[in-house]
Amino acid sequence: AELKKASKRLTCHKRYKIQKKIREHHRKVRKEAKKRGRKKPKKDPGVPSAAPFKEELLREAEQRKQRLEELKQKQKLNRQKEHEKKRKLEAKKNAAKIQEKAEGKESSGKSKAKTNKLLDKNSEKSFCRELKKVIEASDVILEVLDARDPMGCRCPQLEQAVICSGGDKKLLFVLNKIDLVPKENLEKWLNYLKKEFPTVAFKSATLMKDRTMEHIRKRRARVDLSRTTECFGIKCLLKLLQEYGKTQNKAIQVGVVGFPNVGKSSIINSLKGVRACNVGLTRGVTKSMQIVHVDKQTKMLDSPSIIADPSNNVLALALRSIIDTEESGSAELLEGVDAILNHCNKQQVTMYYNIPDFSNTEEFLALLARKRGMLKKGGVPDVENIAKLLLCDWTGAKISYHSQPPESQRPPPYLTEDKIAEMQECFNLKNLEEENNKTVQALKYPSPASSIIFQSAGMVNGTIEENKVIEVASEWENMETSKEGEEEEEEDFTESDDDQDDAEEEKDVKEVNQVSSTLALALVSLTHDFLFLESEHSNSLSFSLEKTTDEDDAYDFNTDYV
């Protein structure tokens, strides 16, 4: 037989007893509450409708509220930043602990972290090694310059190495991205640079634009994206190289060198007519020497980027160094963006990005992040990612800006008149000038008003020899121990900052409560006095504003009401 569930029914006697107990308990609670005295939330009496300066009082009260809200938001943002720092530090610590547990040794985890960082530094060493290979193997070296800042793309160490190497090596300038500068500015730069080295105006081919992509989507047709769009200056450059090959009576090797994102691989792809080399917005895509056969007589050698020396100014490092976006801190990125903004016309920058006026770099990045919808959790602008994106825009072929050439022609000390004549030998400079004029006339250019005026920081020092990179690594090794100590100090600092922020916020809240209570009492007394005066002087409707000193002390209308 199945067991039945116990019934929940109660006898009337038991049920009434329970109800009685509940009533007694509630009575007891009410009595205790009466003894304590109930604290009802005080109602805001507000400003009397007949009181003078009512609108001003309300306006001031709103302004006060806005100020307090802004202050709270700032404190909240600061706290969030500190918490993010804490989280990052904790994540690093946890990762280190996991490694230590896996290996079973505490020291091995630290040594591995050191070796990984040293290997990252030694990747720069490999860049230098590959670059040296290209310089040694090539007969003609093309130094690629960005037409927006040609002087900022020149490397004196590279030029000196080519000139002093001997073996009849020739150096040419290729002025790339000429479609991003005004026509007059381009002509000025061509006239300036051709006095030192033979210069070719060039516009490399890029991938298909958005318009063609839209047609592709509509038709649903398969299109080979490796094929590139139209380029300018290709005939001029090929003709120049072929003529030089004929004078040498041999097949020549042409090395393409330059700083990151100047368009080295794009030039090779344009000459070949197919995407032979990898191209990307990220810096340092090419990591080793790559040989591309253009025709029977010419071989193109693609090289890794020149590494900017750490001794350069902030602007040069921001635009010309190989930045690792994952490892680079927000402070470095902010410094880079700040340097770019300081070297530009502020009004033109605000016009280009279509944002309101800003006081500092952080505000500019916050406004830009909000405009582009780059927000973190809680609607906080993602400053780090927008800074990375901005740096990519300024090095990539997106923003139109231009710098002016120096007023006086002062060649560097290693470039004497004999060396200039030697470099210009074997080249038909008249034909080169005619071809450059044709390319200049064929292209469409941005107007000077739409192009941002940029102040160049001059030539950028680069590290070509491996020994210098090793020195940098060893310096880092010595500094590592001090950095670890700094990280521990930072942790303590962030914790103390959080406590301070909380204390400050509590103080602000207390002050606000005190002010509100005093103002409420003042307003109550004011309304009482006002009603009393109104009843006494019912015949006279005019309200006398001329008060005695005692009445003025009673309540001041200029005080803020919250």
Find tokens 């959790």 and name the residue. 377
d(CA 543, CA 522): 19
d(CA 300, CA 295): 10
Domain ranges of the chain: 122-207+226-309+407-446+458-463, 314-395
Cβ-based neighbour number of residue 17 at 10 Å: 11
Which range has highest mean pLDDT (125-139, 198-212, 345-359, 507-521)?
345-359
The reported pLDDT for the residue numbered 389 is 87
The reported pLDDT for the residue numbered 107 is 54
Q: Which of 26-35, 211-220, 516-525 is least confident?
A: 211-220
Instruction: Of 287, 295, 226, give the one whose Cα is nearest residue 254.
Output: 295
What value does the mean pLDDT of the chain take?
76
Is there a shared CATH topology between the 122-207+226-309+407-446+458-463 domain and the 314-395 domain? no
The count of residues in the chain is 562
- pLDDT tens-place string over residues 410-440: 888 888 888 888 888 888 888 888 888 888 8
Tell me the pLDDT band of 505, cut-offs 50, 70 and 90: low
**Segment 153-167 mean pLDDT:** 86
Cβ-based neighbour number of residue 444 at 10 Å: 6
Instruction: Of 229, 198, 148, 199, give the one whose Cα is nearest residue 396.
Output: 148
Cβ-based neighbour number of residue 310 at 10 Å: 12
The reported pLDDT for the residue numbered 229 is 64
CB 398 within 8 A of CB 182: no
**Is the pTM above the cut of 0.75?**
no
CB 441 within 8 A of CB 203: no
Buried b (16+ CB within 10 A) or exposed e, 317-348: bbbbbbbeeeebebebbbbbbbbbbebbeeeb
CATH number of 314-395: 1.10.1580
CATH 3.40.50.300 for domain 122-207+226-309+407-446+458-463, yes or no, is: yes
Helix, coil or strand: residue 40: coil
- pLDDT tens-place string over residues 41-94: 777 777 888 888 888 888 888 999 999 999 999 999 999 999 999 999 998 888
The reported pLDDT for the residue numbered 420 is 87
The reported pLDDT for the residue numbered 461 is 87
